[in-house]
Chains A and B, each alone.
Chain A
Amino acid sequence: MLNKLALSGIKHRMRDYTVLFSGLMIASAIFYMFLSLALNKTFLKSNSPAAATAFIFGFGIVLLAIITIVYINYANTFLLSMRQKEYGMFMMLGAKSSKISRMIFVETFTIGAISTIIGALLGIIATKYVSQWMITALDMHVTHFSSFYLPALVWTFIFFIVIFVFSAIRNSISLRRTKILTLLHKDSQPSKIKRNGAVKAVQAVLGIIFLVIGYFCMWYIGKNAAFIFLGVPIALVTIVIGTYFTINSAITAVISLLKRNTKYSQKGLNNFTLSQLSFRIGDYTKILSMVSIMFALALGAITVGLGFQKQISAVVNGQNYYDVAVHNADTAQKNRINHLSGDDQSNYSYKIDDNKKIIYYRASELKKQPFHYEAFNMKSMISTTKKSTNIADPDVSYSMLQNMMPKYRMSQIKMVNDADYNNIPGKSNTLTLVKTSSFKNNLSKIRTISKEEAKRYPELKNAGGDKYSAYIMINGFFSGLEFMGFFLGIAFLAMLASCLMFKILSGANGDVKRYNMLYKIGTRQRVLRSTINKEIAVLFAVPAGLGVIHVLLGLQMFKGILFQPYTHIEVPFGIFIVLYLCYYLLTRYLYKKIVLK
């Protein structure tokens, strides 16, 4: 009978249970997605040149496991907050506490098991599509990656089942220990307001000091790479503590300043919103600090991942000024070249003296069409474009030889006048060099030209030298890193935003009464909705804001590895903000569903 009643209780709260189920499914799906990458050693080895990758992923697994545990803890609190009143009622009617604790055990475990199984299956599908999307969208070359990876699936099950067994035990013990009356009136338990201004002031100062130390360490790592082994742990600890103190004190200080400004606070529901926030932030300090650190790590992973992507075009462009090199172009190749956008074309005639290993160029043609090349500066690690009319100069001829057939790349280049050129025996060849407006945008056309060229001259196959082969090699090298950064970032973001969502939703039941009271005394629904929007927006914005600052300063660490780590930073930030925004919108929608009539 009790089981039947408990089941009917679930049916009545289907909406809340849908939230719970979907949240838990997201958790196990993300966990699987991450493990499918992190546990696949062949994939890691074949896609990353750095030995540190396995370590980074090991660290990632630990972090993700911690977030998942915290996350499930919140989801569990949400479950208990929904059920305790009902279970309290059963106990009041005479059900034995052992029976009730067995029921909550079974319920917690069943919910956990079902959501883990469905979530892991969703994870396999998501892994397939997300990786496909990333590989196509970013033109990545990833090998040994499979969306279905059995060890990942097994570990996901083991991990979640262990956590749910613990949660179930905890729930049943906590129900058994709580008094029936407390269970029945849990919603109306008053919350204590703490007043400790002096402690907060000290925390605010300490928070800023800790953050400054952490930021300084990251900046110093960028200057002096050897400091990394000491700097990273120091930065990690000081930034975590600094973030905690800042959220706990500085944010509440801002709120109380706003409250003191009566012009602002005594307008509409502003005072209520501010009080809700200061009330919440006291309670949410830990989760908000965690979210802000994770946010920074996740955003950092994507930014650095994309940093490698940007590196690709910079490195590729540094290899060869010209995007395409075609010898003795036939009509078909000429047609293809004409279809490239914004092409800047140069045509040079050359003759080859096979015996003396000399290549002759017409000086007149070079005068008309100066040769462009990339001069690499070893000190600044940056290449600059230069032009010259004298390709016989050894510095310049090296770049020109890259565009020649492989067997002539060791030859000498000579420039001769037209009369001498005509007198040189042998066939006159043409070399067409093209610089497009953008290598990336013309990539597919360039690929076709390059492949055709390799068909016409089989010796060009795997010979390198041209920009397209440089691209293939470098893209393959960086793609793995980028793929991992993206995956790591998105998995973390989804998890931490879900964490925050659940923490907020688990408090929603307690807010029903407050909003109902505001409604009764004449607050318009629109005003109530905007109050909720504002409140949840701040709870999402505080960790995001701090996280963004952490990343902006944290990128200093990568100054040694990535040149210009800040260029096009809006791309990863944009992707991240959009995903995060989706979570915000979902949270406020669900919150309003629970709180408002």
Chain B
Amino acid sequence: MQKIVEVKNVEKIYGKVGEKQFKALSDVNFEVQPGEFVGIMGASGSGKTTLLNILSTLDTPTSGSVQIAGQDITKLNTNEMADFRANKIGFIFQDFNLLENLTAYENIALPLALQNVSPKKIKPAVTAITEKLGLTEILNHYPTELSGGQKQRVAAARALVHEPSIVFGDEPTGALDSKSARALMDTMTKINREDNVSILLVTHDPFSASYCDRILFIRDGEIGQELKKEESSRGEFYQEILDSLGTFVE
């Protein structure tokens, strides 16, 4: 089966040759299978965000290759990158990044409008995803009229509405209270299981990470340890993560 994400020997160096350079990523290799829910954990400055930026075509690696859904994204030009993000990737950000002058419905419909999908097809697609995420009641509300949890669910709906190959989550629970965080992670797990949507989550929160099938630990720009959930319960996996973090940080 075709891998959804395939990262090979990726290196990212900031600074020009001859100047002071900083290696943010060093020889990163990993894969994500279709329908997998993968977490990337690491402390601040470990290279998580750099890696996510490269995977989502917002930044380019200094060397190495990144294939997403069979396409080498390091060889795309700026326009192709934008189209790639619009078609193949869904984003959920820590601070929701909803447009406050658009209603929830309009925010969710935005990726489809960007792809010039006909308005006739937009409505059923938005309805389907909002029913699944329980957002039908708040579709006409503006973001300022929503709670943090509702905002993040709207953001999730926006990330999923165009049926992307993979959804990237950048600390999606970072700005939520524990109840909303739990609800969001339950929803993401549900979508992952029922619709076979691949999810890659960047987080430093062990609780959110415990929802993943597999966790990659990153430190100083290198992927060190890998942890798989397999048959463990979420509570057990959470404990394993905490243990690993303890040893990983030392």
A binding-site residues for B, Cβ under 8 Å = 188, 190-193, 262-263, 266-272, 275-276, 278-279, 513-514, 517-527
Contact = CB atoms under 8 A, between A and B. Distances in A.
Main secondary structure of the interface of B (DSSP, over half): helix
Contact of B119 (A188, A262, A275): A262
B43 interface: no
A522 B144 contact: no
B89 interface: yes
A517 B94 CA distance: 12
Given A276-B101, A520-B56, A522-B86, A271 B116 contact: no
Given A521-B86, A522-B87, A522-B89, A268 B101 contact: no
Interface stretch (B13-21, B77-85, B198-206): B77-85
Nearest to B90: A521
B58 interface: yes
A275 B101 contact: yes
A517 B89 contact: no
Nearest to A191: B100
B86 A193 contact: no
B183 interface: no
B96 to A, nearest CB: 9
A524 B82 contact: yes
A271 B109 contact: yes
Nearest to A526: B79
Interface residues of B, number: 35
A278 B143 CA distance: 16
A517 B113 contact: no
B106 interface: yes
The 4 A-B pairs with the shortest beta carbon distances in the complex, nearest first, are: A522-B86, A522-B85, A262-B119, A275-B101
A266 B100 contact: no
Contacts of B110: 271-272, 521
Nearest to B97: A517
A102 to B, nearest CB: 34
Contacts of B145: 193
Nearest to A193: B142
Contacts of A267: 113, 116, 119
B101 A523 contact: no
Contacts of A527: 114
Contacts of A513: 97
B39 interface: no
Contacts of A188: 95
A511 to B, nearest CB: 10
Contact of A524 (B79, B97, B101): B79
Interface string B65-95: 0000000000000110011111101010101
A430 to B, nearest CB: 79
Given A276-B101, A520-B58, A521-B110, A268 B82 contact: no
A211 B15 CA distance: 61
B99 interface: yes
A268 B86 contact: no
A338 to B, nearest CB: 66
Interface string B175-202: 0000000000000000000000000000
B111 interface: yes
B102 interface: yes
Nearest to B58: A520
Contact of B116 (A191, A268, A526): A268
A514 B144 CA distance: 15
B122 interface: yes
A272 B102 contact: yes
B94 to A, nearest CB: 12
B235 to A, nearest CB: 34
Contacts of A262: 119, 122-123
Contacts of A268: 113-114, 116
Contacts of B58: 520
Given A192-B144, A520-B97, 14 more contacts: A191-B100, A193-B101, A193-B144, A262-B123, A266-B113, A269-B114, A270-B113, A271-B102, A275-B99, A517-B97, A520-B93, A522-B83, A522-B87, A526-B79
B116 to A, nearest CB: 6
B101 to A, nearest CB: 4
A523 B114 contact: yes
B85 A521 contact: yes
B143 A275 contact: no
B144 A521 contact: no
Contact of B113 (A190, A269, A519): A269
Given A266-B109, A269-B113, A517-B97, A523 B119 contact: no
Contacts of B95: 188
